[in-house]
Amino acid sequence: MPSSPSKSSVVSALPSWRWLFRMWMLAVVLALAGCGSLPPPGPRTVSQALPAGTVTPLGKVAGALRKQSGSRHDTGFLLLDSADSAFSSRLALTQQASRTLDLQYYAIHNDPGTSVLLAAIREAAARGVRVRILLDDLHTKGEDADVLQLAFLPNIEMRLFNPLPAGRSLGKLRALSALQDFSRLQHRMHNKLFLADNVAGIVGGRNLGDAYFGQADDSNYIDLDVLAIGGLVPAMSRSFDRYWNHPLAYPVEQLMSRKDLKAMMAARPGASGARHLRDSSETMGTAEAPKPVPADLPDAMALQQVSWTWAPSALLADAPAKLSPEERDAAGSDQVVSGLLGLMQLSRNAVLIVTPYFVPGPQMMEVFAGLRKRNIRIVVLTNSLASSDAPLAHIGYERYRKDLLKLGVEVYEMRALQPQSTRSAFGSSGKAKQASLHAKLVLVDGSWLGIGSMNLDLRSQLQNSEVAVLIRSRLLGMLIRERVAPILNEGAWRLELTPEGKLLWHAPAGVEPAVRRGEPDASATLQFLLKLAAPFAPDEML
């Protein structure tokens, strides 16, 4: 039997292994930095939205609807409170646009449902619609990089905002290539807009992907959007144009060629399998008919047949300069989250907050303390650790949880396993029984609604750029309360802080045990790993 090494020999060997590991990591970072660097900003075409008032079929519909309403307000709103309406409204705008389509998104996923929508976008381009797609670059890797094929089709321009220097084939290691410019890596374009003919637009929490439209098999997002027609849409388009024409918006063809993209797709493991958008790679530059809508997805809605709410409104939009800390401080451009905090301070009776990631920070906690001193009721619905798709964000939330309860803030955490009644409350029905909260809204006094891409966390306030609409409407406020109530009552844990400073999770009626004393449904391993990571996770990075 071989003798075991002595303790001293094992200990003496450890430094060499640590040295080798550090050298390997350094080599990886240097290799990635060397193999990928951003090209200098090249020539690009400055373009603008379709001039407001241009006569289009969609414009005629919007004008007729406003005239029919008899409202003095020039913008109509439709709450997209189901997965079906969220998908069908986007499909309707795509099919009915006659001049322009402008899409601004944090992520576009390459999956079956999205391919239906993107096929309709290709068909719109083939019939002469100018399409501009502005996408943050963080998630354009793996299969999702296939959507970059659209950049090489006639009438479609595609730009990547704040691109990472390394190639998309490097997967998770790709982010290491930007460590030499870590501050820039942290600033992401989180905006979400879908605009047609500068007369109709969608803003909200959804990216483009099956999980956002209730079509994923394992877990879907509970999310929310609003569709606007009329007067506010040109402001949404102006915000899009600011980003589109910004120096950090790189045309895809400046970052990779069509040949590079096809080679990357062919080299990916399992490249011979179905890739949803793969079929278009062999027909670049040819007109394509859209794929038929699957039976489990809705047909495009008729905008004339839905009930619109005409109301006063405003757009809150961060400036692209927010991506630079120096420019952000000079411009004071953290407008979305700070604007919503200012709105909360005007409350006279109640504030409802729905946010998937909740890291308040000192300024927000100060606002909450001031509201509670005036006996303003504050209700917060956020993810539990088990339902969150971003466990690291839970680290920041946990730091403020007890202090929130001490102030008298009512805190609810959504359960991962949801009954059908609550899964469909915000439009995430589908087949999956699990759900993750992704809706982002603030409702003040039941009548002022802020809805958009922002989370109520320091990342949205200080790091990412965001966009939101602010609407004054008691009807929309009532609809929001009706959809939140089932989740609070049937699909969420209600938190309580005992006099001894211990946390209790109260289950909805019918769920046993009725009271939990630890993070419900979250594994001990996950909780342990988050405790290890907590000292290295500053709030503004979560």
Point out the residues that are catalytic: 190, 192, 197, 438, 440, 445
> Under the phi-then-psi rule, with left for phi > 0, alpha for psi from -120 to 50, and beta for the rest, what region is 79?
beta
Phi-psi region of 270 (alpha: psi -120 to 50; beta: other; left: phi over 0): left
Q: Is the separation of the CB atoms in 439 and 483 below 8 Å?
A: no
Q: What is the spatial distance between Cα 270 and Cα 413, in angstroms, rounded to a whole number? A: 39
CA angle 127, 129, 132 (to 5 degrees): 140
422's tokens? 């609550």
How many angstroms separate the most distant Cα atoms in the chain? 93
Q: Is 193 in contact with 201 (CB distance < 8 Å)?
A: yes
User: Does an H or E element contain 435, and which?
Assistant: strand 434-437
Query: Strand locations in 43-88, DSSP E?
Result: 75-80
Query: Could you give phi then psi for residue 334, rounded to 5 degrees?
Result: -80, 65
First to last CA, the chain: 51
Secondary structure of residue 448 in the 3-state scheme: strand
User: Under a CB-based contact definition with an 8 Å cutoff, are residues 449 and 440 in contact?
Assistant: no
Tally of CA atoms within 13 A in the half-sphere of 390 that contains its CB: 19
Give the helix/strand (H/E) hosting 115. Answer: helix 112-126
Contacts of 430 (CB under 8 A, 6+ apart): 83, 214, 215, 216, 220, 423
The amino acid that residue 481 corresponds to is R
